[in-house]
Amino acid sequence: MAGTKKRILFITMATVLLLFFIFPYVYMVLQSLAPWDQVDKKLFPTILTLRSYVFLKTGGGQASVPWIGSFFNSMIVSFGSTFLQLATAALLAYAISIIKFRGAKFFENFILFQMFFPTIIFILPNFIIIKSLHISNNYLGMILPLSISAWAAFIYENYFKGLPNEILEAAKIDGANEIRIARSIVLPMSKSITTILFLFLFMGRWNELMWDMIAVTDVKLKTLNVLLSSMFGPYGGYPGPLYAASVILSVPLIVLFIIFSKNFKEGMNFVLK
């Protein structure tokens, strides 16, 4: 009996705390649905309206603002960068941990070396580099400089080291080449770790502000996060649409996490070690 009571106590505590911590999201959603004269003035709007969302859809303001386009820009940039980050990291880690070729030690140390440096010091030189490659103001300018992740390579490297050696050796003896082993053995075995890495990298890329702000000046190419940030001033007097845009910015990540939440805990346990 004492056990049940204790359990109910903990469930109640967790629920209350969760409601408290989720409040900013609730606030965002409520304000995005509030009539414009009530935004930020009433915690719970008296009536709900989709006016803010319609406003975004119809181009927002006299000078049309490409809200919908910016959502797709965010998608293109985030998927592009994340795909490249995962692919380059997985290939490198495969070479280090499974092929164990002559350069393995060098690349292993290179990854560690890379992780020492805070990204902020590369912002300015990378800006100069994308300018000289003529890819500034371009999707590639946003995607390419953020398309390797030492962290992902490090996690993959350790994960691949832990894979059962017998299976890999057996496949080699059977005459399977590296590309086959990678595709039909290692890749399927790394599903949950890849899911977690994808979620974290995608999230980081989706919410990136500084780099996307610098790399692109054309309003048609701006990501949703950057466009939202740049509209604080112009929409200051009627922030309803800003809340609607914030909701649209937050929903994809929340949906992704809920879809993958089944693999979430097991994969996390590896990443966090």
Partner 1 sequence: MASKALPGKNVHHNDRKSRPKPAAIGWLFSLPYFVFALVFFLIPLGWVFYLSVLKWNTISPVRVFIGFNNFTDAIKSVEIKAAFVNTFIFMLIIVPFVMIFSLLIAIIINKLPAKLKGIFSVGFFLPYLSSGVATSLVAIGVFSYFSPFNIFLRSIGKTVDWFNTGWSAFIIICMLIIWKMYGYYMLLFLSSLESIGSDIHDACKIDGAQGFTKLRKVILPGIYPALMTVTILACGLAFSIFTEPYKLTNGGPGNATQTWQLIIYNESFVNLRSGYGAAIALISAVLTFAVLLFVKKLVEKWGAVNGWN
Residues 215-234 that bind partner 1 (CB under 8 A): 225, 228-229, 232
Structure tokens, 110: 């290179």
Residue 172 in the binding site for partner 1 (CB under 8 A): yes
Q: What is the DSSP letter of 133?
A: T
Encoded one letter per residue, x for contact with partner 1 by CB under 8 A and - for no contact, window 195-214 reads: --------x--xx-xx---x
Residue 168 in the binding site for partner 1 (CB under 8 A): no
CA separation for the pair 201, 86 (Å, rounded):
8
Q: Under 8 Å CB-to-CB from 62, ≥6 apart: which residues?
A: none
Residue nearer to partner 1 on the CB measure, 87 or 167: 87
Can you tell me which residue has the tokens 């890379």? 114
Residue nearer to partner 1 on the CB measure, 77 or 153: 153
Residue 261 in the binding site for partner 1 (CB under 8 A): yes
CA separation for the pair 9, 230 (Å, rounded):
45
Query: Which helix (DSSP H) or strand (DSSP E) does residue 203 occupy?
Result: helix 191-206
Residues 39-68, interacting with partner 1 (CB under 8 A) = 39-43
Structure tokens, 243: 């809340």
**Amino acid letter for position 196:** I
Minimum distance from residue 116 beta carbon to partner 1 (Å): 7
Residue nearer to partner 1 on the CB measure, 48 or 91: 91
Judged by CB under 8 A, the residue of 56, 89, 197, 201 near partner 1 is 89
Residue 77 in the binding site for partner 1 (CB under 8 A): no
Residue 178 in the binding site for partner 1 (CB under 8 A): yes
Residues 103-162, interacting with partner 1 (CB under 8 A) = 103-105, 107, 110, 114, 116-118, 120-129, 144-145, 147-148, 153
Number of C-alpha atoms within 13 angstroms, CB side, residue 93? 28
Q: Residue 137: what are its φ and ψ, rounded to 5°?
A: 60, 45
Minimum distance from residue 69 beta carbon to partner 1 (Å): 18
Residue 72 in the binding site for partner 1 (CB under 8 A): no
Residue 75 near residue 69 (C-beta atoms within 8 A) = no
